Structure 1
Amino acid sequence: MTHLKTVFFGTPDIAVPFLELTRELTDLQLAVTQADKPRGRGMEISPCPVKARALELNIPVLSPEKLKDSFDQIAAVPFELGIVVAYGKIFRPNFLALPKLGLINVHFSLLPHLRGAAPVQQALIQGYTQTGVSTFWIREGMDDGPLFLQKEIPILPQDNARTLFEKLVPLGLEALKETLTRAQNGDLPQLPQTGKPTLAPMITKEDALLRPAELDALTLHNKVRGLACGPKPKIPFTRNGKTEWLQIVRTEPAENQPAEAGTVLCIERNKGILVKCKEGSLWLNEVHPAGKKPMSAEAFANGRGLKSGEKVFVE
């Protein structure tokens, strides 16, 4: 079987195994990544994970500041199919026309659900109980091209962004392997996306601020799950007129109890701090105070002399 000539577009750690699989199954001509940036504690200019791995594998790499700056170089590469995984740049029509067959994106949701930059995090934040992986043909719109194939998995109550990524990456590799195998056999489906689209916008620092006075307990709990990989979720802790933002590691929603939002309902061993929310209440099981190691919420409460009835989780 003649292997398709391909170009891989990707940037972060999560895309590295997909680069490796594309190299294994196709005639990979080139990897295209985002530009080198300051990274690490020393903020030294260094390549992204995909570029670093491509160089180790002796794969030619381009890493332009703007994709259009490398148009001529990419156009000079004889490739039939582009594979895109977490690249982070938009493809203009002139790029979409370069490969003979087109560009295929591996997206971590069941399209048309969760189109956008953060489908894994937003699946949890928005309370989805099922998700998966889609390979689809890139068009000019955002994640709206026809599907090649999809694979689905349930989201378990104990899942957070970290565990969900750990499940979706192998599923995505399975999907890409099937996609590439079928493409090289001339099987190139273009299935319409069906159903009402939903969005998965990029996560902002504001999204990570947990405000019990404004949100219900389940919404706050889902935010904690969805932000396990960052930005870290934080709740306001106010005493003596001074507010600090306490990082939250693990939570558990609980039944409603009468009190003002932000009030400590109780402190319980092996459970933590129960906080009243706009609707319902939320157990803070594990927290990470600034400058300290993660600890049980009970240990935090004891260290601060926190008592039931105090209204401290407010700005």
Structure 2
Amino acid sequence: MNIIFFGSDSFSLPFLDDLNKKYKISLIITTKDKVGGRGLKVIETPTKVYAKEKNIPFIEVIKMKEYFVEIKKYDGDIGVVVSFGKIIPENMINMFPKSIINLHPSLLPKYRGPNPIRWQILNGEKESGVTIMKLTKDVDAGPILLQKKINIDEEDNYTKLTEKLIEIGKECLNEALELIKNKKDIWIEQKGEVSYAPKFDKKFEKLDFNLEGEYLKRKILCLSYEPGAYAFFRGKRIKILDCSIVDEKYDGDFGEIVFANKESFGIKTKDKILIPEILQVEGKKIMTIKEFINGYKPKLKEIFS
């Protein structure tokens, strides 16, 4: 099958690389370069970088409808979408003889939208998975060909769960393409409770120790390792990338260090004590709690705000 691949970020890349070893990728469609970082450098999407390395034709899009004629020239049998970031118009979906399929990292119809992995961790879900569905004009609402489930472990952060979903997702996507190629694909309409996973805004990354400890832990995990949940300590932004929660009572204000020793320290939340395990001071490397204590020697009654 002649595949046209739609994808733009680091989650897309392993799927693109895996498919390129087994199928003909005639075109990669990605979003435009971004400008960011120090010096406002131009940042190419990972899939664009891959396309250039492998000499695969690529198109960078802004408004999808403007590229209909150009994409049609590549005569794709099927489109594969993984974390693309643009809505594909219906006339473009209908361009493909075998339609366009989308790999979505949740058990649809739960967590439709652009941010499903983080929301599943934040909400304390016990299982996740991937769904292969047919693209329709409604976002993440098309009929399902395959789903595969995995457990979410208590210590899974965004990075770990993403890696697990990529591995099971590659298997699922290859299985789906084989079913389609052999005309054994059976599609089932989505059933069950629908929920949505919108993007977080930048304010969400800041920790509020007035909230419950278990919620704060899930928040830290869903933002780890990037972009990282943070608080301020001695005027510096400190990312907390992993933590543990203990059910103990101490007097003090929310965000206050209520115990400290050579091994660890605890921050008071609304109901429990949060112990940072992995931290990153702005401009510094990631460090363990012991390394942080050795370097900064946090004291009782100091505040993480």
| TM-score scaled by length of structure 2 | 0.91
Q: Is the 8 A contact 2:64 2:89 kept in 1?
A: no
Where has structure 1 moved over 6 Å in runs of 4 or more? none
1:267 aligns with 260
Determine if contact 1:247/1:289 at 8 Å carries over to the other structure: yes
Is 1:68 aligned to residue 59 of structure 2? no
Question: Which of 267, 271, 284 is matched with 2:276 structurally?
Answer: 284
Is residue 99 of structure 1 aligned with residue 102 of structure 2? no
Deviation for aligned residue 1:210:
0.6
Q: Distance in 2 between matches of 1:54 and 1:305?
A: 48
Q: How far, CA to CA, are the matches of 2:290 and 2:43 in structure 1?
A: 42
Task: Please give the per-residue CA displacement for 1:2-22, whole angstroms capped at 9, x wherever unaligned.
Answer: xx2221111122212322333
Instruction: Show CA shifts across 1:27-56 (max 9, x none).
Output: 432111112333665544353221221233
1:221 aligned residue (202, 217, 224):
217
Bigger shift: residues 30-39 or 42-51: 42-51
Equivalence map 1:220-239=2 (5 Å): 220-237=216-233
Q: Following the alignment from structure 2 to structure 1, what is the Cα–Cα distance between the partners of residues 41 and 232?
A: 33
Q: Tell me the equivalent position of 2:287.
A: 295
Distance (Å, rounded) in 2 between the aligned partners of 1:67 and 1:60: 17
In structure 1, distance between residues paired with 2:173 and 2:226: 27
Q: Distance in 1 between matches of 2:262 and 2:297?
A: 14
Deviates more, 1:175-184 or 1:165-174: 165-174
Q: Which amino acid aligns with 1:274?
A: G
Q: Contact 2:236 / 2:281 at 8 angstroms: preserved in 1? A: no
Quick one: distance in 2 between partners of 1:218 and 1:52?
Answer: 40
8 Å CA contact 1:8–1:30 kept in 2: the answer is yes
Structure 1 pair 300/54, CA: closer, same or farther in 2 (3 Å)? Answer: closer
Q: 1:130 and 1:201 mapped to 2: Cα distance?
A: 19
**Would you say the 8 A contact 2:250–2:258 is kept in 1?**
no
8 A contact 1:268–1:298 mirrored in 2 = no
CA distance in 2, matches of 1:303, 1:261: 24
Q: Which structure 2 residue ranges, 5 or more long, are not aligned? A: none
- 1:204/1:231 contact within 8 Å kept: no
Q: Which residue does the alignment assign to 1:255?
A: 247
> Over residues 42-79 of structure 1, what are the superposed CA-to-partner deviations in whole Å (9 max), with x where a residue is unaligned?
54435322122123323221112322221111123322
Q: CA-to-partner distance for each residue in 1:195-240, whole Å, 9 max, x for gaps?
A: 2122222132211101102x11111111111111322210233x6x
When residues 303 and 170 of structure 1 are mapped into structure 2, their CA distance, relative to the original with a 3 A threshold, is: closer
Distance across 2 between alignment mates of 1:307 and 1:107: 46
Structure 1 distance, partners of 2:144, 2:74, is 26
SS in 1 for 2:265: strand
Q: Which residue of 2 aligns with 1:313?
A: 304
Consecutive unaligned residues in structure 1, runs of 5 or more: none
Note the alpha carbon deviations across 1:170-214, whole angstroms, 9 max, x for none.
11110111011111001222112222122222132211101102x
1:20–1:255 CA distance, 2 compared to 1 (3 A): same
